[in-house]
Structure 1
Amino acid sequence: MPMPKTLKLILLSVRDLIVSAGPVVFIVIGALVAAYWYLDPQPPKKVTLATGPAGSAYAAFGKRYADALKADGIEVVLKATDGAADNLQMLRNGEADVGFVRGGSADPVADEEAGLVSLGSLFYEPLWLFYRSDAARRIDGQAATLTTLTQLKGLRVNVDKQGSGVPDIMARLLKANHMETTALRLSNLEPAPATEALLAGRLDAIVLASAPQSPLVQRLLRARGIQLMDFGQSDAYARRFPFLSAVTLPRGVVDLATDMPPHDVALLAATTSLISREQTHPALRQLFAQSAQSVHSGAGWFNRARDFPNTRTSELPVSAEGDRAINGTPPFWQRYLPFWASNLIERMWLVLGGLVVLMLPLSKIVPPLYQFRVRSRVFRWYARLREIETKVDAREGERDALLDELDELDRVTHRIAVPLSYTDELYALRNNIYAVRKRLLATWPKEAEATGG
């Protein structure tokens, strides 16, 4: 069954339009491919997060980040470390992409030059100094509490493992009290064995730097014979050391029913930040910064809801992704599109905008190309018609042969298909063929050919 003529014309017009727009489409696709290759918008499917010792708050938070990014198809490899200082060193060496780093651990100048950036401050990490009540009584028979670091002279004190950052902080605090580390019987056990040694009486005091969610902190807060040191000079420490903040453990916050603790306790706290390398893919930095909103935005023992994450207490420059996730408004498309599509638009919106600007002048060449392609179907036969007309004027060839050529040319024009808007040019060609035939018949009668002119 032959195709209806109207449908044939429509398909022909569509084909002409596609062919005419081909150069523009080719340029746009080429620009998109080049931009995609250069910008590399899609992130790797695997990222390494430096956490901390097993059982620490860092390790617990690391698992929550792994679960959050798994929903977007990203595998988070959790790398156990000795703590904040170890995490920082791994970031410097390129052994981790992201890591938890406690305030006071980083060198703001050197680490900024090394390409480390902050994704935001996440939570307070108090300096917990737990001590045995019987050790406090040995210092002063009447006093059963410790309130200053100078009271620790001669005691067996564990200051966490090297690489955790705690030994460095304690050394700075002791120096501020005109004390040498040799004035204490220091050890560097990991938090878990140090806790057991404290409970067993093999240590007099231990220092931990961890979020309240740490199982070890929770255990020691409820242990019999173990007390938490009240830093009565916390404000003074905070003035001397910018990376420390004076915080208060409110009365009854651990357990309201048993009124634990029975009074407010002044503590010192560093602020832990999520640090990333500049070489880490921007989309991954964005995912971590966005996940921090859900992981750390709740109220805690030392902060109100939505106090964290923030960009106010970061020692290192905050990356654009962290600042946008914490202080900005996410683009509307993030609420409706999957991560890969949202990220593609996020990374390539400037290129897409540039292509729109580029297409405005390029699109102006499509109508002339389309017009030329359609009209060329008609105009190319004028060369043949002019050739026949020249022969008619010069009386070259045979009269019947020229008529046959005109008839053939007329048959060809009847098979030409053009859009309705261009039919006037097709009919003009047919009229011109008819005019040449009419002149041939008028100026070159058949009898004249027979008599030789």
Structure 2
Amino acid sequence: MDNYKTEIREHVVAAYETVCDELRTWKQFALEAWPLLSLLLLGIAVAVWLAKPAPPKHIQMATGSEGGSYEILAKKYADYFALHGVTIELVRTTGAQENIARIKDPKDPLQAAFVQSGLIDEKQAEGLMSLGSVGYEPMWFFFRNDLIDREQIRSENFLTHPIAIGEPGSGTHQHVMNLIRINEFKDISGLREISNAEGVKAFQEGKVLSIVLVDGMDAKNVQTLLNDPRATLVEFDRAAAYSRLLPYYHTLTIPKGALSLSLNEPRQNMETIASTTNLIIDKSLHPAIQLLFLQAASKINGGRSFFASYGEFPAYKDSVTPESDVAKSYFQKGAPTLLEYLPFWLAEFVDRLLILILPLFAFGYPIIKSMPSYRLNRAKARINDVYLALKRFEQELRDNFDRAQTDVYMAKIAELDTRASTLRVPRSLVSDYFSLRSSIDFVRTMILNKSSPLPLSTT
């Protein structure tokens, strides 16, 4: 039993001494190779900083005007983000122009908004990024069928009767003005620049005879008019021409009876034009949040809808606003595989870190490879410094030895011996170390021999 305890004690002591020895070795290594270690740590820190490992937990997103489809859609995105621990604060705005201005303002916390295609020119797009389009927004053109004879309606006639076109700064207003400009209409005395919600109310009260809405089919304002028997939808019989002349428009078809089978509305296949809903962000928005937006878009907007086929959205359909790098990767390769196993922020961080590994390896490998030789070379340099000082001292002794200076010589050799004895060298240079100590003893012996009195000659 005593032998067994003794053996265990010996193993424990051996393990303890081994650990202490390794710690001393690493400590010495760190003291000697700290410039290279600092450079390596700096490279790792830069890589981590570029990867931005900490996504925000709270962002602001615009919802647009009251009663619009963006309000409904943004709430769905907020619910999706909440499942992943991120809060979206929904901010009501007057429309596209306010959204664009606020996202571009570096002091404004608003970082994301839905903006219709055709509302941003190349100059306005500076400082913005796009995560792609998430749906169609048709142009809905209604008139009061009890106040206007549908058989005598022509597009230019609408502009001379009271017509609601949205408030200035809104997407609807800008789209209407684009159509007025391209058609070169002159008499626009009937325009009423009021919000969509106010326009719907005015339409129902008969204060305006027609109204234009550019919005999704599920929008409250659109549904209100689609279910109003006094509202009749106008066809864009030149939809193909509009989409050719204004590339941000798409031609959509509403099949006969698709709006109401019982009323057979529309009475025949009807074409309309539509912009796309684009997810516009501040270019500084964290990549992990961008990825979460794209995942939300695939989940919420990726299914089949009245106008879109399954999987059609999200997609990059508006080329004015630059596509973010995260969106490019997502549309080309899909979501990172790690998302199946890790939280979104960690998976996205690791995915981007993998991209940085190659340049980081190219930077760090030569440093790591040179560390052993760096330590060896430094130890050799310290040994050689003492050797060089010893060589000069020996040469001085050979050329100008003075017995009166023996004490000075001995102090000098003792100083060199002290320098040598305090050197810390790796095991591979132990022989060089003891060779140096032997050389010092050789010079010390030479001093003693030269300082000894000459023997008296005998006759």
Give the match's secondary structure for 1:121.
Answer: strand
Letter of the 1:107 counterpart: D
Letter of the 2:171 counterpart: G
CA distance in 1: counterparts of 2:334 and 2:273, whole angstroms: 33
Partner of 1:107: 121
Partner of 2:158: 152
CA distance in 2: counterparts of 1:16 and 1:367, whole angstroms: 21
CA distance in 2: counterparts of 1:60 and 1:278, whole angstroms: 25
Give the match's secondary structure for 1:13.
Answer: helix
Asked whether 1:85 is paired with 2:113, we answer: no
With over 3 angstroms needed to count, the CA separation of the structure-2 counterparts of 1:199 and 1:335, relative to structure 1, is same
Asked whether 1:329 is paired with 2:334, we answer: yes
Q: Is the 8 A contact 1:131 1:226 kept in 2?
A: yes
Give the match's secondary structure for 2:90.
Answer: strand
Give the match's secondary structure for 1:130.
Answer: strand
Tell me which moved more, 20-29 or 283-292. Answer: 20-29
Q: Is the 8 A contact 1:250 1:261 kept in 2?
A: yes
Asked whether 1:240 is paired with 2:245, we answer: yes
CA distance in 2: counterparts of 1:368 and 1:87, whole angstroms: 57
CA distance in 1: counterparts of 2:93 and 2:301, whole angstroms: 21
Question: Over residues 407-446 of structure 1, what are the superposed CA-to-partner deviations in whole Å (9 max), with x where a residue is unaligned?
Answer: xxxxxxxxxxxxxxx9xx9xxxxxxxxxxxxxxxxxxxxx
Q: Matches of residues 5-20 of structure 1 in structure 2 within 5 Å? A: 5-20=10-25
Q: Matches of residues 244-255 of structure 1 in structure 2 within 5 Å? A: 244-255=249-260
How many aligned positions are there? 366
Match of 2:175 among 166, 169, 180: 169
CA distance in 1: counterparts of 2:25 and 2:262, whole angstroms: 80
Partner of 1:288: 293
Letter of the 2:121 counterpart: D
Q: Matches of residues 70-219 of structure 1 in structure 2 within 5 Å? A: 70-94=82-106, 95=108, 96-108=110-122, 110-112=123-125, 114-137=126-149, 143-144=150-151, 146=153, 148-180=154-186, 182-219=187-224
CA distance in 2: counterparts of 1:198 and 1:88, whole angstroms: 29
Tell me which moved more, 73-82 or 167-176. Answer: 167-176
> What's the offset of the Cα at 1:346?
3.0
Letter of the 2:129 counterpart: V
> What's the offset of the Cα at 1:76?
1.2
CA distance in 2: counterparts of 1:118 and 1:211, whole angstroms: 19
> What's the offset of the Cα at 1:361?
6.0
CA distance in 2: counterparts of 1:89 and 1:73, whole angstroms: 28
Q: Is the 8 A contact 1:297 1:308 kept in 2?
A: yes
CA distance in 2: counterparts of 1:165 and 1:203, whole angstroms: 20
> What's the offset of the Cα at 1:172?
2.3
CA distance in 2: counterparts of 1:129 and 1:294, whole angstroms: 30
> What's the offset of the Cα at 1:281?
2.1
Partner of 2:346: 341
The ranges of structure 1 where at least 4 consecutive aligned residues each deviate by more than 6 angstroms after the TM superposition are: 366-370
Give the match's secondary structure for 1:227.
Answer: strand
Partner of 1:382: none
CA distance in 2: counterparts of 1:52 and 1:72, whole angstroms: 24
> What's the offset of the Cα at 1:178?
2.8
Letter of the 2:173 counterpart: P
> What's the offset of the Cα at 1:334?
1.9
With over 3 angstroms needed to count, the CA separation of the structure-2 counterparts of 1:258 and 1:352, relative to structure 1, is same
Q: Is the 8 A contact 1:152 1:184 kept in 2?
A: no
With over 3 angstroms needed to count, the CA separation of the structure-2 counterparts of 1:153 and 1:275, relative to structure 1, is closer
CA distance in 1: counterparts of 2:257 and 2:189, whole angstroms: 32
The gaps in structure 2 that reach 5 residues or longer are 377-426, 431-459
Letter of the 1:159 counterpart: I
With over 3 angstroms needed to count, the CA separation of the structure-2 counterparts of 1:340 and 1:309, relative to structure 1, is closer
Give the match's secondary structure for 2:138.
Answer: strand
CA distance in 2: counterparts of 1:81 and 1:150, whole angstroms: 31
Letter of the 1:236 counterpart: A
With over 3 angstroms needed to count, the CA separation of the structure-2 counterparts of 1:36 and 1:224, relative to structure 1, is same
Give the match's secondary structure for 1:134.
Answer: coil
Q: Is the 8 A contact 2:288 2:349 kept in 1?
A: no
CA distance in 2: counterparts of 1:217 and 1:19, whole angstroms: 76
> What's the offset of the Cα at 1:41?
2.6
Q: Is the 8 A contact 1:124 1:211 kept in 2?
A: yes
TM-score by length of 1: 0.72
